[in-house]
Amino acid sequence: MINFSIYYLRFFNILISGLCFLSILYSYYFDLYLNMDAYFYTLLISILPLISFFFLKKKEIKISIYGKIISVILGYLFLPLFLALPYYLSIYNITFLNAYFEAVSGFTSTGFTIFDNIKHIDQSLILWRSSSQWLGGLYFLFSIILLIDIFDDNLKKTLTNFLAFNSAEIFKQSLKIFIFYSFLTIIIFLILNLFDFRSFISLNLSMTLIASGGFLPTNNLETVLDTQTKMIVFSLLMLISFFSLFFLYNLLFYKKKGVKFIQEDVYLVLYLLFIIFIFFLLTDKNTNFGIIFLAISSSVSNVGVSLKNTPEYLSFIFLILIIIGGSFFSTSSGLRFLKIVSLFQFSINEIISNAKPKNIFINKLWLSDKIMDKSDFYKYFFSILIFIISLTLLTSILSMSGLDIESSFKLSTLTLMNTVNSYMTQLNNLDFDQLNYLTKYFLVLFMIIGRVELLSFLIIFKKFFFKN
């Protein structure tokens, strides 16, 4: 397992080294010498593990799904150690705990930050923050492919037009994801530039949006979204991380047509339209609906950013949307919309089956032709149960740290759903730098739990609670 973990994390260690090198070039080209040494030392430290790989004997590695899960979790624990170094070695006197907190927040695409004023930060370090989110989104997608066996057959079928699930071709599949992920990042960057976003802003936002992250290159989003057009464009681009990466690929490149071909994602489109319609009815006519649409897009995609004029009375509704989340195979977090829909269909089907034992729906989802094993729904159920337990535990911990119960509940939800505190949830004034060190450790732990819940804890529960 140790050898497998090393081989799995090697690629991302190489990417971190590459980001260090690019940061050095960027700093040199734009005369940003304040933190150049930090990237140089980080590059040297990140190279050291790569040297050790040459001493590993090349052999076929066979490992169980549990070993793969552990490898994914180790990545979320150890890769941020390298990402934290530029913060720690910078001129800003950041403690290593704060640096690690910032790195984990970026790598899990959460977006919590210890920086209260971005204007005082070197541009190269701002770019490093955004890069850490971009890398974290890519790592999450790679983890999905690595742990594809934990998903039920119906969910796996949504990927078969993009990927061939063959362990011998895992390198090809990973390369395909890397290329398309990078391609989408470039497309977002070009679109933002087309609509008159500054190049530096566009570069940072493109990496933030594709990864469903919350780091912004500015203190006030209003200064960036200074027109209605920019607001709408930004809102639409956030939805890229709401839908499946593979759905987008199929729309752009795959020749097969038909609604059934993209049925799962059609549900997401209908869900989004329904939400927009409901909010249109709930909001005051004097309210700028562009602000509401941005908050909706930000909630369902788990990006988490919002504008100052977002209505306070809608904060808990946005919180519910954050919990529901987006597609299974997107960079967003949340419990996942399709999981909740499937559980609802399964519940209806069980009611029908109990009322009419010989009913033809007994082995199928309600209003669907799909047949799913009950064990898959047990996994869905336990994922929700784990969320509730984790939410209760973290809320209690935060309450004991001095936060009021409402703020503790909201912050716990955002932590587990890996989305940033903002005007949308009325937690924008929370200063993470001032939190005590134990609270930060717990937030780091639960940010990781929230990011890998689907990919790990369900299987761990299955291993210990289900004999078969």
- Decide if 246 is inside a domain: no
Selection from 50, 12, 246, 24 nearest residue 135 by Cα: 12
Where is the domain boundary, 200, 228, 256? Answer: 228
CA distances from 444 to 102, 267, 319 (A): 9, 33, 20
- Decide if 276 is inside a domain: no
Per the CB < 8 A criterion, the answer to whether 238 and 209 are in contact is: yes
- For the whole model, what pTM was predicted? 0.90
Where is the domain boundary, 228, 250, 271? Answer: 228
Residues above pLDDT 90, as percent of the chain: 39
CA 298 – CA 214 distance, rounded (Å) = 9
- Decide if 274 is inside a domain: no
Which phi and psi (to 5°) does residue 214 adopt? Answer: -125, 5
Q: How many CB atoms lie within 10 A of CB 93?
A: 7
CA 191 – CA 197 distance, rounded (Å) = 9
Higher pLDDT, 433 or 151: 433
Question: Which of 49-63, 73-87, 198-212 is least confident?
Answer: 49-63
Tokens at 316, concatenated? 């808990």
Tokens at 193, concatenated? 């530039």
Where is the domain boundary, 196, 228, 260? Answer: 228
- For 407, residues 6+ apart whose C-beta sits below 8 A from its C-beta are 398, 427, 430
Per-residue pLDDT at 258:
47
- Decide if 444 is inside a domain: yes
Q: How many CB atoms lie within 10 A of CB 92?
A: 18
- Decide if 212 is inside a domain: yes
CA 20 – CA 26 distance, rounded (Å) = 10
- Decide if 334 is inside a domain: no
Per-residue pLDDT at 56:
60
Question: Which of 280-294, 300-314, 356-370 is least confident?
Answer: 356-370
The domain of 37 spans 2-228
What's the pLDDT tens digit per position in 408-426? 999 999 999 999 877 888 7
What's the pLDDT tens digit per position in 173-184? 778 788 889 999
Instruction: Tell me how many domains the chain contains.
Output: 2
Q: How far is CA 459 from the centre of its chain?
A: 20
Residue 453 is given by DSSP the state I
Binned at pLDDT 50, 70 and 90, residue 259 comes out as very low
Per the CB < 8 A criterion, the answer to whether 212 and 332 are in contact is: yes
CA 450 – CA 413 distance, rounded (Å) = 9
- Decide if 300 is inside a domain: no
- Decide if 345 is inside a domain: no
